[in-house]
Every structure is written in C-alpha cells, then in structure tokens.
C-alpha cells in the first residue's frame, strides 16, 4: 500500500477491491473470499463474500499463536471501586473461551442474539467476545437506558439470553441494573429464556428462579470452547441507535468488513502500532466502545484501557492524566464534552502538572462537533496533536479525520479535516446536486460504503433504504449538514434531522415527545436540541397544556422532567420545559423546530413565509427569556 494520504485515498476510490484486499491480508482467514466487493444485490453491498473468519480469533487467538500471549490486552481501571486489573492476551482468551462455553450450556448457538446490559467491567468485554467466538450476535444496551428502552430492544432483537450485572456505578452513585432488567422483561412482548447475572459487591441482585443464573455458577458448569468459523457476511452485532420516530434502529455490523476496516484504521487513522496502549474513554454501550475499546485495539495487537470513571469527580479533574501516566497511554480518544468538563474545573491545567505525559502522543475527539475553543485549549495544555474526527454509529469507524498514520495535515480548528480513504464524501443540495466548495449542503457518501459500515438494519431492509439511501439516490445520507472548503477540508455544522447529540449520545427528540405527550395535562409538545457549553446540545421541551389542566405549571414541569428521566433515562439530560400558549407551526402543521432552536441559541432567524401566525414568535421569545435563554438578535423578515 502507498504510505502517504493522497496516494492512499486515490487508490481506495479508484481500485477499492485491491485496496481492501491488501488490508484484509493482515487478518487470519479460515477460507479466502470469493469476491472482495459483492454488488450483485446493490444497493445492499457486501464485502468479502465467501470468506470465512472469526472476530474473536482475530482479536485474541491469533496474537497468542504469533507469540504475543503475554502482551497485555486489557487494562481495567476503575477509580469508583479503587480497582486496577490487567489481562494478558492469553488470560483474556481463556476467560472468553470459558464464558463462551457457559453461553453454549445455556442454549446459545450461532445466529442467536444475546442482549448485554452491563457496566464498564472486564466481564462485559468477555461477554461480547464470547458471543463473537461462537457466532452469537451480541446487542449491547447502554446501562443508562430506562427499562422501556431496554424492552424495545429486547422485542426487536428477540435474544435467546440476557447478560447483565447487579449494578453499575455512576460517580458516587450505585445504579441497580437488575430491577431494570426485570421490569424490561415484564414490559417486553418477547421473553428471553435465561439471564446470566454478574453479582457485584456494591449491590446484590435478587434472582428469579429457573430464569436467572449467577455468573460464577454459569462458569462453574462450563468448559472452554474454540472459535467457530463464520461467513464474513454473518452479523457480528446489532447496535441500536435512535430514530426520528422514536423506534430504535438496529444497526447491523458484519464480521469480515468490520475486522478489516477497524484493524486498518488503528495504524492509518490513529497512528497506533501493535503493543501501544490505546484508550477510548467511552462506554461499551456506544459505538466508540464497540469499535475502539473492544475490537479495533485487539485486532491490531494493542493494549486497550477499559475505564470505569468520569473525566472529573473520580476523584478530580486530573483523573484522565493519572490514567495516561499510570498506563503509558499513547493515544486517547474521547468526546469533547469530557474536555469541556475538565476545562471548566481546571481552566489553567494545574492538575496535569502532577503527571508524566511524555509518552502521550495524540488526542482524538469525536461524538459531536468540537468547538474551536476547546480544541485550542487542549492543544495548548497538552502540546500534542488534538484531532477532531467525524463518524457515526452507522459507519462504525471514521469518515473524515486527520490520518496521523499517513503524513498528517495541518489542523483547522472546527474541521475534522479530510475524508478517510474508502469514503467518497460529497456535499449536495436538497435535489442531490453537488454544490461548490464553501457552500453549505447535505453531507453524503457515494455508494458503495467501505467495509465496516452497516450493510442494513436488523430485519428492516426497507427501513435501511428509507432512512439512508432513498433521500439521495446513489448516496448514503448522513443526516449531517456542512461544507467542503477550498483545501478539501470538511466542516460538519449541524444535524439535518431531529436526532440531537447530548454529550456524544445521539438521542431522539421524537421519543422524548412521545413521553411528554403521554402526560395527562399535555395537549401538544415539541422537543428540540439547543446549544450547551458543556454537553454540546441539550433537549428543550415546549408544551401546550390542556385547558382542563388542573395542576399549576411548576408541578407539571417537574412531573415532565421526571417522566423523561424514567422513560428515556438520565442520559437525556432533560431539565428544561417551556409551557407555551401554542406551538409555532407552518400552515401545513409542521412545527418550526429550527426557528425555535435559533431563538434559544440567540441566532438571527428568518420568519418563515409559511408560518401560520408570525405573532407567535414574539410569544415564544418571551417564554424562552423566562427560562434564561438569551434574547435573540433582531430577526430578519422574510
């Protein structure tokens, strides 16, 4: 392969089969592929059809067979429990093989789904890799989600078994998981046959006879098992992401393309080499945790850090720097929210001074757009490249990045830099026509998508077409808006749908609206994302109360906030509700969320020509001022 970015990028678009075949040679295959890119059922493209491999084999067994069994594979660092544990590749393989045997004893086999609802503990990684080892399809659900959200995923995935734990730990707060699992199973139409529960010492879980199995008891009856050869096109996992309708979308990831793309990205995007310590400070419930805590570092023979803590408060704003120093971290990947929190509590960077960061070489930020101030602050304090990059749950790995493994480009604060090899990123207008550089438009990717991206949605090919392919024929719709500048740098500016990004977590405003609408006193409602200095975006609710509402406004607001917390989860950060007389709408009935968002953010707005009654905007301004939002600059009349 060429060694510089321009040559790599050109080859990836001009000869994609050669490009990705070369990358695939670094993996272990039981059988080679019949075709690198199978376009026989386009637009449902498949990579490495006919090939057989196993993702767990490539993450663990291969490195042991190549003489690296004593290299550290995983470091578990938990400031909330005061625990640090390391696992060599051999130790992790042995633990995974044994739990894979436990899954088989509980009736799990190739093609079965396993829902994993777990905290940030080594057993979570073991459960994921154990599923991969035997060809079961794992679906990890973030532990911060409420029982109703977990139930929706159970009904869609129809798992044979659930793996959970007695609790998670959020800072100094114990969150009991098992009652949420029990409630979710009660709510779900589909009933899994078994649940394996890891009992943590911080909280004991009650067990349901005949259904619940203690983790240790499951292992006691098990024997380790070998990897099962799988088709490259077989699903590895399902990861649910929010949809605009409130119904979660099950993003499918295959085994072959996923392994090829993620291993390639470790060296070329992140500049990591086998043996380096790589830390993705995320959660395994999100795509970053799947890709860059569990799979990519292990595919590449790196040491991965699994961190059960926060950037601040566990115990202080120096938490990240202690981990970097103690474990010789070379590359850190986290969300801008984390750095905004650190900057807020330690603006002068005093806590960094206590630690040796000389081995630290690069900071990557993703999950939301990184504001230039935060990026420059991190650059100034750390003295290493700070790289914003852009990707999505659906793609599974970066679409636009500064590839530091291949002659990195100068950083432009606010831009994630250039398209990653394999991605043909374009900017088009609403009719699908490319727009000139410097012009805002819809960010799309020309088909076929490279390996590692979603081939479809779980049991929903029609939904895949409708959500991603039909809006711009021949392209994948990212639902992000932005532009490309004269140097080929992309600028990702906003979402084009109503999914908002709260501290790197994509959440559906439609799902929150459904919760608000369920309140007996609410007649109409809308939820939109407004700018927040710490979290990037937070939801703002607008509600119109029924004339028959008997309770006073503050009481209803408190109830609405509690309702969203219970139904969606604390991760939604839903705290602000404006009770309004009426919602601003077009004559056709569409709520003007974009206009209200600009008003709340203090941005000049145009009065839409289709608005039903322009005077309503003055009313909304007053309601927003009561909540403390800035007075918008004078609107432009359209």
The angle at the Cα of 163, spanning 158 to 169, to the nearest 5 degrees, equals: 125
- Distance (Å, whole) CA 36 – CA 16: 9
507: Cβ contacts below 8 Å, ≥ 6 apart: 242, 499, 500, 501, 539, 568, 571, 572
Neighbours of 15 (CB within 10 A): 12
The CATH fold assigned to 5-309+389-407 is Rossmann fold (3.40.50)
- Distance (Å, whole) CA 528 – CA 497: 10
pLDDT tens, residue by residue, 536-560: 889 999 998 887 666 678 889 999 9
pLDDT tens, residue by residue, 463-497: 999 999 999 999 999 998 889 999 999 998 767 66
Place of tokens 């290493």: 384
- Distance (Å, whole) CA 638 – CA 634: 13
- Distance (Å, whole) CA 166 – CA 118: 9
pLDDT tens, residue by residue, 45-74: 999 999 999 999 999 999 999 999 999 999
For position 169, what pLDDT does the model report? 93
Q: Are 138 and 157 in contact, with CB atoms under 8 Å apart?
A: no
- Distance (Å, whole) CA 435 – CA 498: 24
- Mean pLDDT (the chain) is 91
pLDDT tens, residue by residue, 301-344: 999 999 999 999 999 999 999 999 999 999 999 988 888 889 88
pLDDT tens, residue by residue, 85-125: 999 999 999 999 999 999 999 999 999 999 999 999 999 99
pLDDT > 90 in the chain, percent: 70
DSSP string, 228-248: PPEETTSEEEEEEE--TTSSP
- Distance (Å, whole) CA 119 – CA 309: 11
Domain locations in the chain as residue ranges: 5-309+389-407, 499-626
Mean pLDDT of 424-444: 93
Same fold, 5-309+389-407 and 499-626: no
Q: How confident is the model at residue 635 (pLDDT cuts 50, 70, 90)?
A: very low
**Strand blocks (E) in 386-489:** 386-388, 400-401, 418-419, 425-428, 441-446, 475-484
- Distance (Å, whole) CA 181 – CA 151: 8
The CATH fold assigned to 499-626 is GMP Synthetase; Chain A, domain 3 (3.30.300)
For position 52, what pLDDT does the model report? 98
The angle at the Cα of 629, spanning 628 to 635, to the nearest 5 degrees, equals: 140
Residues 219, 221, 224, 225, Cα dihedral to 10°:
-120
For position 586, what pLDDT does the model report? 64
For position 389, what pLDDT does the model report? 95
- Distance (Å, whole) CA 111 – CA 134: 9
pLDDT tens, residue by residue, 335-386: 888 888 898 888 889 999 999 999 999 999 998 777 778 888 999 999 999 9
């Amino acid at each position: 392969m060429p060694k510089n970015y321009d040559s790599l990028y050109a080859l990836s678009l001009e000869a994609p089969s050669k490009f990705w075949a070369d990358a695939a040679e670094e993996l272990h295959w039981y059988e080679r592929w019949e075709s690198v890119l199978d376009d026989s059922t386009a637009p449902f493209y498949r990579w490495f059809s006919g090939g057989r491999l196993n993702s767990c084999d490539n993450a663990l067994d291969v490195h042991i067979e190549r003489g690296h069994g004593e290299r550290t594979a995983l470091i578990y660092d938990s400031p909330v429990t005061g625990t640090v544990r390391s696992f060599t590749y051999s130790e992790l393989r042995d633990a995974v093989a044994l739990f894979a045997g436990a899954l088989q004893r509980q009736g799990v086999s190739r093609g079965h789904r396993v829902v994993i609802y777990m905290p940030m503990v080594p057993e979570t990684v073991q459960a994921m890799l154990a599923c991969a080892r035997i060809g079961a399809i794992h679906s990890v659900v973030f532990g911060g989600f409420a029982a109703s959200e977990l139930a929706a995923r159970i009904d869609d995935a129809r798992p044979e078994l659930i793996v959970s734990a007695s609790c998670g730990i959020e800072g100094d707060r114990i969150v009991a998981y098992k009652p949420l699992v029990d409630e979710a199973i009660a709510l779900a139409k589909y009933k899994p046959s078994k649940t394996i529960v890891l009992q943590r010492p911080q909280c004991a879980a009650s067990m349901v006879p005949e259904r619940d199995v203690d983790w240790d008891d499951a292992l006691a009856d098990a024997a380790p098992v070998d990897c099962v050869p799988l088709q490259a096109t077989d699903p590895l996992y399902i990861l649910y992401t929010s949809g605009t309708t409130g119904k979660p979308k099950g993003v499918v990831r295959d085994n072959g393309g996923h392994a090829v793309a993620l291993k390639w990205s470790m060296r070329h995007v992140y500049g990591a080499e086998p043996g380096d310590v790589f830390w993705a400070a995320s959660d395994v419930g999100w795509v970053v945790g799947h890709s860059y805590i569990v799979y990519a570092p292990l595919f590449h023979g790196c040491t991965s850090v699994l961190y059960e803590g926060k950037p601040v408060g566990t115990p202080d704003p120096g938490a990240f720097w202690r981990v970097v120093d103690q474990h010789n971290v070379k590359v850190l990947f986290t969300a801008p929210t984390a750095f905004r929190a650190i900057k807020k509590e330690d603006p002068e960077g005093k806590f960094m001074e206590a630690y040796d960061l000389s081995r630290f070489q690069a900071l990557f930020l993703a999950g939301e757009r990184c504001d230039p101030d935060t990026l420059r602050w991190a650059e100034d304090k750390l003295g290493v490249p700070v790289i914003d990059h852009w990707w999505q749950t659906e793609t599974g790995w970066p679409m636009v990045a500064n590839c530091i493994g291949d002659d990195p480009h100068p950083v432009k604060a606010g831009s994630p830099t250039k398209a990653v090899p394999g991605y043909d990123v374009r900017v088009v207008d609403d009719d699908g026509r490319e727009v000139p550089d410097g012009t805002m438009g819809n960010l799309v990717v020309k088909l076929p998508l490279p390996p590692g991206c979603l081939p479809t949605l779980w049991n929903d090919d029609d939904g895949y077409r409708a959500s991603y392919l039909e809006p711009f024929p021949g392209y994948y719709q990212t639902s992000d808006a932005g532009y490309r500048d004269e140097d080929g740098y992309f600028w990702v500016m906003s979402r084009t749908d109503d999914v908002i990004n709260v501290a790197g977590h994509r959440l559906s405003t439609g799902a929150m609206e459904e919760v608000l609408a369920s309140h007996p006193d609410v007649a109409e409602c809308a939820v939109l994302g407004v700018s927040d200095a710490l979290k990037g975006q937070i939801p703002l609710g607008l509600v119109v109360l029924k004339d028959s509402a008997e309770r006073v406004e503050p009481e209803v607001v408190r109830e609405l906030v509690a309702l969203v917390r219970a139904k969606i989860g604390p991760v939604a950060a839903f705290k602000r509700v404006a009770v309004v007389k009426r919602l601003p709408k077009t004559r056709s009935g569409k709520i003007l969320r974009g206009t209200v968002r600009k008003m709340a953010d203090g941005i000049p707005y145009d009065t839409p020509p289709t608005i039903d009654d322009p005077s309503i905007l003055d009313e909304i301004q007053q309601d927003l001022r009561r909540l403390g939002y800035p007075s918008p600059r004078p609107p432009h009349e359209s």
